[in-house]
Chains A and B, each alone.
Chain A
C-alpha cells in the first residue's frame, strides 16, 4: 500500500517538475520569437532589431554564458562576487543574531536604541556605498560592508521577534526545572529563535547578492556586477542579461543550501501533513 502511495507522490512531483520546466521553455520561446529580428514583422518598434536591442536575444545570451565558462574568464568575477556575498551573508547573520538576542533580553538597551534602530532601518542603505568606498577602498571589503548592512537588519528584527515570542510557559517550565539565566539563553531562547532566523535567511540570501552586485556596479574592477556595468557601457544587452541569469542561478543555489541546512537543523518542527486521495 505504502509503495503505491510513494510512487503516486513521486509521479505527482515529476509531473510538477515537468510543468515548471515547460513554463520556463515557453518563456524562452516567447522571448526568442518576440526579439528575433526576422521572425515577426515589427509590431511596436520601428526597426526590426530594436526589440533585440532592448531585451537581448536568448540564443546570444546562452552563447555568452557558454563562452564565459568555456574561456574561463568568468571564474575570477564569479569567485569575487560569491566571496563578497557569502561574507556579507555570514557576518550580517552572526551580527544580527547577537544583537537581536542582546536587545531582546535587555529591555533598557532596547528602549534606548529603539528610535536609532528604526532610523537606520528606514534609511535607504544602498546610498552608503560611496561612504564604504572611502572607508574600505574599492576592494571586496566595501561590498561586504554594504551587504552586511542589508542582511543584518532582516536577521536582527527576526531574532528580536523570535525571542519576544518564546512561549512564556516553556520559559517558566525551564526555570522551574532549574535553568540559570545562561542556560535559559542556550536551551530556550536560542533554539526558539532559530526558526525565525531561518525564515529571515531565505530573505537575506537575495539581499547579500544585492549588496555585492550593487557595490561592484558602483565601483570595482572585478565581479559579475562589474561585468554588467561594463556591458551596459557598450549597450551590450545580451551580456547584461547573461549576468542577471548567472546571478539568479547562484542566488537560487544559495537559497537551496539554506533550505537543506534548515531541514537538517529543524527536524523538530511539525510539517504540514497532506492527506492523499486513494
Chain B
C-alpha cells in the first residue's frame, strides 16, 4: 500500500516520568494502521485502549516513542497539515462567534477577511447553521457546536479527516442526524477518514473498514474487518439490515474479550 493516505507503522507510545519507571505507561505497542485514499476507517476498542493516542500521533500532536508515520508517502514531522481534526471535547474558541470560529483556519493562512467570511457563511449554510453567524458557542446547543466544529475543519479542505468520538456527547437522535450529514458531506468528495469511537454500531454504519484495538496498555490492532454494506447509507435504517447484524455479531465476538479485559483492569484500579 504505497499510495496510502495515512500509514502508521509499528507505533509505540510510552508516557511517563523519567525519574519513576513504575509510573510509565505504554499506551500503544506495535500499532499499525493504514488508510487508503478516500477510505472511511473506524477504530474501535474498549475504553482506555489508546484510540485517542493513535489519532494524536496521526495528527502530529504527539510524536511516537517508536515507529513511523507517513502521509501520502512522506514521513510526518510536526503538525500534520494535510489533516483536519475533530475533537471529542469542546474545541471551539469561546471568545469567537460562530463565523469567526469557522474562518479561524483561513485567517491563520492569511486569507483576506471578506473572502474568508463569504466562504465561512457558505459553510455555515452547508452544515445547516445559516443565520447563526453572530452567536457565541455558549449560545448554541451541543449539536450545533459540533456542526460549527465540522465546518471549521472542512473549510480548510483537508485531505484526511481525523475524528475522535466527535458525536459521543450528543443524544442519540442528534447523533444519527449528524452521522448522516457527515456521510453526505464525505460522499461529495471522499476524503480519507479515521473515525475513533467506542460504539461498534456507529463504526459499522459509517465505515468502509473497522479496525479493532486490544485493551490497553500496549494496545495494537487485533482485527480488521471490511464493511461491504452498500452506499449511500442511512445510519438509522442500516442497523436493521441483516448483513449489518451479521457483521456486528462477528466483530463483537472478537471485541468482547478485550472489552472485558479493559473493564476488569479498570475495576482493579
Could you tell me which A residues sit within 8 Å of B by CB distance?
167, 169-170, 172-180, 183, 187-188, 191-192, 194, 267-270
Contacts and interface: CB of A to CB of B under 8 A. Distances in A.
Nearest 10 A/B pairs, CB to CB:
A173-B91, A177-B105, A270-B138, A176-B85, A191-B95, A178-B108, A268-B95, A268-B136, A169-B89, A179-B108
A178 B83 CA distance: 10
A201 to B, nearest CB: 17
B90 interface: yes
B80 to A, nearest CB: 8
Given A169-B87, A169-B89, A183-B108, A175 B61 contact: yes
How many B residues touch the partner, as a band? Answer: 20 to 34
Contacts of A192: 95
Contacts of A180: 108
A269 B94 CA distance: 8
Contacts of A270: 138-139
12 contacts: A167-B91, A170-B90, A170-B92, A173-B87, A173-B152, A175-B79, A176-B84, A177-B153, A179-B104, A192-B95, A194-B95, A267-B136
A177 B152 contact: yes
Nearest to B155: A177
With a 10 A CB-CB cut-off, give which of A167, A170, A173, A187 has the most chain B CB atoms. Answer: A173
Interface of B: 59, 61, 79-81, 83-85, 87, 89-97, 104-105, 107-109, 136-139, 152-153, 156
A197 B234 CA distance: 49
B95 A178 contact: no
With a 10 A CB-CB cut-off, give which of A176, A179, A269 has the most chain B CB atoms. Answer: A176
Contacts of A167: 89-91
A68 B91 CA distance: 56
Given A170-B93, A268-B96, 11 more contacts: A169-B91, A170-B92, A170-B94, A172-B87, A176-B80, A177-B104, A177-B105, A178-B105, A179-B108, A187-B108, A267-B136
A180 B92 CA distance: 17
Contacts of A170: 90-94
Nearest to A175: B79
A175 B137 CA distance: 19
Contacts of B92: 170, 173
B93 A187 contact: yes
A179 B85 CA distance: 14
Nearest to B89: A169
A269 B137 CA distance: 9
Contacts of A267: 136
A172 B91 contact: yes
B149 to A, nearest CB: 8
Nearest to A180: B108
Contact of B97 (A187, A268, A269): A268
Contacts of B59: 176
A267 B139 CA distance: 11
B109 A176 contact: no
A180 B107 CA distance: 11
B3 to A, nearest CB: 24
